[in-house]
């Protein structure tokens, strides 16, 4: 099934300019409905509510948000400063995934050339993200298969990193898809991913659509599943990766990494280069989004904790580089735990010519 999380749709609205069309992920898998967005503040709301989510998809949202601000500014006769303020609201709609600001900053310099130039650049962001995901998935699968001696791998993953979280294909789930395509995948253990259940609602939905064998487990089961020897590796996505390999991802990822270290199995982070933030030397400076405590004290709108009990709801954690066996990007696979950080890849381009060189660099044929 082809899932498109976010796109620019020329038929949205009635002035021929179009708008953002996004699959509302708050209602999946039960209800498939789209939000058609023409106002920047509606995009900010959609981002805050996680109707569109996942770092690479947020990069596309950021880029398309600039077009929205320009179109809305023209319709509403905003000043240039008002347009810039609207762009800034999109840029800061969520703090942890660097891709959101990256997507805005990628197209913002083109504003002087007009909205068509910005829209074309935003569409390019989406196209390049899919290409990056497919390449990093191939490289990630190569790295794993070179190190794990089993005909078919048993994989644990956390949160949702598939087509729904990206432009297409996925990052960690892209690696899973690549293993499946090579007939080297046995089973995926999907952490349900409390409190918003991106694992049980979204990852299971994507895997079921693709006919990939999987089970959903409570997040609290992950460490035990790993130490019992039921999985060969864990692969997760990231919202921001610091230069040294510290990686911010959905809350609960750190526990998975700790268990993998104890069990001596690979813990891989799979992400496009757009998620790497070389301006951050390490993860200590990454802002962790704190969401409403009610997402934890209630489930599906039903209060679970006693009235008066407050929830604590950090949405992400940071896994230190010493626990990260591999970071698979389209530029190659870094090994932070073994001492190669991300700066080694700073000057590489992602052009296809690098594929063979990257594979050679990591000791693969």
Can you tell me the distance from the alpha carbon of 317 to that of 248, in angstroms, rounded to the nearest whole number? 5
Can you tell me the distance from the alpha carbon of 193 to that of 203, in angstroms, rounded to the nearest whole number? 10
Q: Among all residues, whose Cβ is closest to ligand MRU? A: 237
Q: How far is the CB of 8 from ligand MRU (least distance, A)?
A: 20
Q: How far is the CB of 221 from ligand MRU (least distance, A)?
A: 19
Q: How far is the CB of 103 from ligand MRU (least distance, A)?
A: 13
Q: How far is the CB of 60 from ligand MRU (least distance, A)?
A: 12
Can you tell me the distance from the alpha carbon of 326 to that of 337, in angstroms, rounded to the nearest whole number? 7
Q: How far is the CB of 236 from ligand MRU (least distance, A)?
A: 6
**Catalytic residue flag (residue 239):** yes
Contact 115, 75 (CB under 8 A): no
85: Cβ contacts below 8 Å, ≥ 6 apart: none
The CA angle 246-252-257, to the nearest 5 degrees, is: 50
Contact 203, 174 (CB under 8 A): no
Contact 254, 220 (CB under 8 A): no
Q: Which is nearer to ligand MRU, 55 or 122 (CB)?
A: 55
Q: How far is the CB of 134 from ligand MRU (least distance, A)?
A: 13
88: Cβ contacts below 8 Å, ≥ 6 apart: none
Specify burial of residue 1 (Cβ count, 10 A radius: 0-12, 13-18, 19+): exposed
Q: Which is nearer to ligand MRU, 111 or 328 (CB)?
A: 328
Q: Which is nearer to ligand MRU, 46 or 110 (CB)?
A: 46
Q: Which is nearer to ligand MRU, 17 or 167 (CB)?
A: 167
Closest CA to 205 of 57, 58, 5: 5
Residues that bind ligand MRU (CB under 6 A): 50, 53-56, 97, 159, 161, 165-166, 171, 198, 237-239, 249-250, 315
DSSP 162: S
Catalytic position from the list 129, 142, 232, 239: 239
DSSP 192: -
Could you list the active site residues? Answer: 239
């Amino acid at each position: 099934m082809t899932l498109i999380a976010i796109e620019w749709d020329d038929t949205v609205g009635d002035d021929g300019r179009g708008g953002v069309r996004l699959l509302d992920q708050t209602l999946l898998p039960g209800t498939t409905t789209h939000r058609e967005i023409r106002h920047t503040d509606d995009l900010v709301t959609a981002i805050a509510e996680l109707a569109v989510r996942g770092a690479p998809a947020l990069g596309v949202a950021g880029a398309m948000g600039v077009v929205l601000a320009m179109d809305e500014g023209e319709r509403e006769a905003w000043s240039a400063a008002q347009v810039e303020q609207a762009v800034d609201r999109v840029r800061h709609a969520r703090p942890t995934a660097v891709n959101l600001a990256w997507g805005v900053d990628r197209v913002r310099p083109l504003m002087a050339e007009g909205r068509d130039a910005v829209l074309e650049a935003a569409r390019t962001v989406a196209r390049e993200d899919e290409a990056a995901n497919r390449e990093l998935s191939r490289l990630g699968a190569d790295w794993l298969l070179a190190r794990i001696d089993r005909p078919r791998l048993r994989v644990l993953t956390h949160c949702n990193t598939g087509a729904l979280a990206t432009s297409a294909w996925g990052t960690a789930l892209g690696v899973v898809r690549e293993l499946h395509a090579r007939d080297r995948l046995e089973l995926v253990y999907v952490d349900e991913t409390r409190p918003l259940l991106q694992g049980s609602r979204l990852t299971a939905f994507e895997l079921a659509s693709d006919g990939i064998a999987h089970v959903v487990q409570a997040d609290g089961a992950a460490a035990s599943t790993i130490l019992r020897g039921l999985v060969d590796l864990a692969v997760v996505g990231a919202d921001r990766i610091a230069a040294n390999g510290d990686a911010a991802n959905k809350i609960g990822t750190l526990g998975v990494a700790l268990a993998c270290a104890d069990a001596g199995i690979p813990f891989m982070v799979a992400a496009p280069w757009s998620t790497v933030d070389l301006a951050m030397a390490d993860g200590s400076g990454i802002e962790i989004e704190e969401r409403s405590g009610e997402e934890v004290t209630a489930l599906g709108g039903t209060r679970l904790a006693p009235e008066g009990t407050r929830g604590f709801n950090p949405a992400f954690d940071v896994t230190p580089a010493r626990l990260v066996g591999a970071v698979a990007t389209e530029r190659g696979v870094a090994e932070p735990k073994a001492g190669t950080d991300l700066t080694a890849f700073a000057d590489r381009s992602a052009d296809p010519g690098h594929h063979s060189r990257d594979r050679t660099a990591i000791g693969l044929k």
